A and B are shown apart, each in its own frame.
Chain A
């Protein structure tokens, strides 16, 4: 197998989110040399061991391996001399004649020609499914499509019966070849492009405004949210040990060394006490914002294992503890029920805050971050700024995530500017990217 085949395969892996370093690529080449190419399954095992570094990557690898090293191609690559297809060539041109190829029906010769044309047309650069026709054309050209076209036109203009027959034969050959070329390009797209397309789609989705998601988007969103949660979790789960650093703790050092007459043999350092994250989410679930709440809570729930201390409350009129609803119903149906039961009354931030004051005030302490999600539109009711201020004073931080664009803050019944002085951070969230940034900020405060 040529070095190029391996590097193409590695490129395909990278396109599908498997990270392969240069070192690993070199290892793979070494390992391949060692085990040989004769045994396909053995090669698959070997490359899987060297290139894929997690169970998920193994699945991707095995799938791609099967696509990439199709059996026929594998046989050809391994024993190129065995059944080297003999391409009969026309006297006047050197390129394989499409018609002869198709009529001859020599499978090996056809796939050989396809491979060659594919290489010439650089099909491996394909990224999006919309590029398929373009590459099909490019391949046809590489296989001498232009000449065929000329001949075809010539025959069609001659108007004799023999020419008619010839022309229709040519057209059939061209159509068949085109179908084969399309098949080839689609296969290459599967290997090299689909990963990239997926990434591209996800990227678009992550930036899309959350209330403009279509039903199809929603399905993909679920997976995407999990991905984001995993990324953040890995980022913050890497604990750092900083035992022998920082400032000298004089008091503890003296006490520990009293036995040595105060000669400091064992030195103690001051350690920064790190708070465990504690999150209190207050979510406005009235019609206009409920979609955002869904994703914020989805994201927070994905962290449950990492942050055991998450309390979530939903309100529109009255505030209610919704942890139990999620616990018993699961996320999706829990969310639907909450929106149905709690989200129906008219929004009253003041009432929600006083419910919090009466029922759950103890939940807030100096370790907690309050995340408020809502547009701050309280139907001109009393915003109870006094309660909000007290809550902010009790908590470590208050983050307000507002789905409304900044330009609309303060218009109509929006009380956002009045709450603003008491928030540590007040930010606009429109897309999943914004949400990720906000949660990232919350977690960063605890590191």
Chain B
């Protein structure tokens, strides 16, 4: 299963143990958890894509970006949307260039064909040149092909795969199981080094079982307080420890409320930044009320939370809460 010996000449060398992955991701500012690091480790060693699900804004996409950064490998990103097809995901012929070259070579055609007497001879001769126009020179690689042609390997991020059509999902299966694609005019292109594939899904629609079976399934939830504190302090250096604890506890409490959109990590980070700019050193009702729109983006959420605001702030300020 593992391919330690081929690791030497690829960019995946640093993925040799789970601890190294946690450390490595930490060095580029991604605070990993045990299961996240295990997923990356298994993805590489079992050569399986990772399918990440979880609420919006918990760092699904960020994991791919950070992994690429930590490994110093190119990140190839493919955003999925309804109507995405092979032409946009895999490859396309450069029609314009082909047309231009045909026009330019038209005059040469007479010279080349000059010595072929019969129609049949010309045909045979022309056949010999056919491959010219359908060679890799005229191939426009799209994300999937780009990812497979990286010599050192790459991190391929297939973002929001649930937004694509089912037909595309089926096509992905083929690509992801063998890491090879077939271009009818050229032949089969196999990945020199299989990319590390990360798929993300926001559950717009239920993904097919076949795709799920082929992937490792990682569910990332909102982080617990301790991890969120580490994330915020990594992103917003200079936040006072006490304020950090208070603001994270407040956000954690807020997520327990009955609201439409729970604040994501990115919003916690934004809020921390806001508080820092305002030189706040402890939460109080006025500060929170003034800045709450950084955390909550729906008018109805702001309304439904406001009666409990006092209690949430008190809980956050008065010290560590017992149960999250």
A42 touches B42 (CB 8 A): no
A21 in complex: contacting residue of B34, B41, B213, CB < 8 Å: B213
A241 in complex: contacting residue of B50, B166, B216, CB < 8 Å: B166
What residue of chain A has the Cβ atom nearest to residue B209's Cβ? A19
Contacts of B2 in A (CB 8 A): 34
A35 touches B212 (CB 8 A): no
In the assembled complex, the CB of A438 is this many whole angstroms from the nearest CB of chain B, namely 23
Contacts of A130 in B (CB 8 A): none
Q: How many residues of chain A are within 8 Å of chain B by beta carbon?
A: 28
A-B contact pairs, 23 of them (CB 8 A): A19-B209, A23-B213, A24-B213, A34-B46, A35-B18, A35-B38, A35-B41, A41-B34, A45-B38, A46-B38, A49-B42, A49-B50, A49-B216, A50-B216, A53-B217, A54-B219, A55-B219, A58-B219, A234-B206, A238-B166, A239-B166, A240-B166, A241-B167
Q: Which of B34, B50, B217 has the most CB of A within 10 A?
A: B217
- Known A-B contacts A42-B38, A55-B53, A241-B167; the reply to A31 vs B46 at CB < 8 A is yes
- Judge whether B142 is part of the interface by a CB distance below 8 angstroms: no
A41–B2 Cα distance when bound, in Å, is: 21
B217 touches A45 (CB 8 A): no
In the assembled complex, the CB of B58 is this many whole angstroms from the nearest CB of chain A, namely 13
- Known A-B contacts A34-B46, A42-B34, A234-B206; the reply to A49 vs B217 at CB < 8 A is yes
A234–B208 Cα distance when bound, in Å, is: 10
B46 touches A27 (CB 8 A): yes
Q: Give how many A-B residue pairs fall within 8 Å (CB-CB).
A: 64
List A residues at the B interface (Cβ < 8 Å).
Answer: 19, 21, 23-24, 27, 30-31, 33-35, 41-42, 45-46, 48-50, 52-55, 58, 234, 237-241
In the assembled complex, the CB of B43 is this many whole angstroms from the nearest CB of chain A, namely 9
B167 touches A53 (CB 8 A): no
Bitwise, B194-217 to A at CB < 8 A (1) or not (0) is 000000000001100100111011
What residue of chain B has the Cβ atom nearest to residue A233's Cβ? B206
Contacts of B165 in A (CB 8 A): 241
Contacts of B166 in A (CB 8 A): 238-241
- Known A-B contacts A23-B213, A49-B35, A49-B39; the reply to A42 vs B18 at CB < 8 A is yes
A19–B209 Cα distance when bound, in Å, is: 10
A45 touches B206 (CB 8 A): no
Contacts of B41 in A (CB 8 A): 35
- Judge whether B1 is part of the interface by a CB distance below 8 angstroms: yes
A53 touches B34 (CB 8 A): no
- Judge whether B229 is part of the interface by a CB distance below 8 angstroms: no
What residue of chain B has the Cβ atom nearest to residue A238's Cβ? B166
A52 touches B217 (CB 8 A): yes
- Known A-B contacts A46-B38, A54-B217, A234-B206; the reply to A30 vs B167 at CB < 8 A is no
Contacts of B219 in A (CB 8 A): 54-55, 58
